[in-house]
Amino acid sequence: MTYDLFIGDRLFSSWSLRGWLMLEKFGLPYRSHMIGLYSGTMASDMQPLAPARLVPALRLPEGTVVGESLALAETLAERHPEAGLWPQDPAARATARWLCAEMVAGFSALRGQCAMQLLHAWQGFAPSADTLSDIARVESLWAHARRISGATDGPLFGAYSLADVFYTPVAARIISYGLPVSEANYAYCLELLSDTSVRQWRAMGMTVHYDPFPYPQNLTATPWPIGAVSHAEPVEGGPSRNAACPYSGKPVSDYLDLDGQRWGFCNPFCRDKTAADPEAWPKFTAMVSGVNDS
């Protein structure tokens, strides 16, 4: 039983990120399919999913297409009660649903002024009064969630849930635009974005290059604050320290250099996602450690 998830972009599509995390973080089987969000092919790419017209969209194993993120969330939670997408406690579950619904329907100023982007952080961004009001509302909802759950840090309801999924792109906006939040909420944002799955999502997004940049700001860009700046570089030709790709196990054909050592992968995508953030990929780091220790 495998789901087909249709997403539009990784660096900029906040809703695609939410749809992906619903499946990835809860261990549900899926295949990802890219929709041409910025290439001009979105309408034609979405046609087989009609009447769905936005990403993410999900095709169930039986063939039913589901659009809209809340519908995806409820459908997956209903089909996989053992996965724990919603909190177990009834009060916490009701509150988590409230937070997700308000995320879908609200925060128009925050979304309009601060388009999600995972490439870098901006210095000197000046949020509008309406955006600051939205951020204050986010903080009040997070505080309410913690009062209900009793969790003082980490996921809002103690265990990771759909509430954390829905607010991960908000965390990206807070961090990348330097929006003012409490120290505790800043730490929560960093924790969401430091998650291995989110780092992998960003690394995969960095395999695509955009010209022009979709959401420019007349501001100074600084490095993304999660993870070290990668020193890995794609290179032409081997030999590599490894004969098989760490992800697929297939023979290597594409290479990168990291700290003077050459490593091989089965295709450019595997190479480039690793070059973007080598530490985000446990299979790669385990391979490097195993080879260097042998």
Contact 157, 185 (CB under 8 A): no
My answer on whether 32 and 130 are in the same domain is no
**The whole model's pTM is what?**
0.97
Question: What DSSP assignment string belongs to 179-221?
Answer: ----HHHHHHHHHHHHSHHHHHHHHHHTTS--SS-SS--SSEE
My answer on whether 109 and 183 are in the same domain is yes
46 belongs to a structural domain: yes
- pLDDT the model gives residue 101: 98
The contacts of residue 109 (CB under 8 Å, 6+ apart) are 128, 130, 131, 133, 134
The pLDDT-based confidence of 127 (bands split at 50, 70, 90) is: very high
My answer on whether 115 and 188 are in the same domain is yes
To the nearest whole percent, how much of the chain has pLDDT over 90?
A: 95
Per residue in 57-106, pLDDT tens?
999 999 999 999 999 999 999 999 999 999 999 999 999 999 999 999 99
116 belongs to a structural domain: yes
74 belongs to a structural domain: yes
Strands (E), 89-248: 120-123, 220-223, 233-235
Q: Rounded distance, CA 85 to CA 40, Å?
A: 34
215 belongs to a structural domain: no
How many CB atoms neighbour CB 113 within 10 A? Answer: 17
- pLDDT the model gives residue 120: 94
- pLDDT the model gives residue 188: 98
216 belongs to a structural domain: no
Give the domain range for residue 10: 3-83
The pLDDT-based confidence of 39 (bands split at 50, 70, 90) is: confident
My answer on whether 99 and 160 are in the same domain is yes
33 belongs to a structural domain: yes
Arithmetic mean of pLDDT, 48-54? 96
The contacts of residue 282 (CB under 8 Å, 6+ apart) are 196
What is the C-alpha R_g of the chain?
20
Q: What is the CATH number of the domain that holds 7?
A: 3.40.30.10
Contact 95, 89 (CB under 8 A): no
H or E element that contains 71: helix 69-79
Kindly list the distances between the CA atom of residue 161 and the CA atoms of 4, 26, 82, 174, 251, in Å, as whole numbers in the listed order.
21, 9, 13, 20, 38
Count of domains observed in the chain: 3
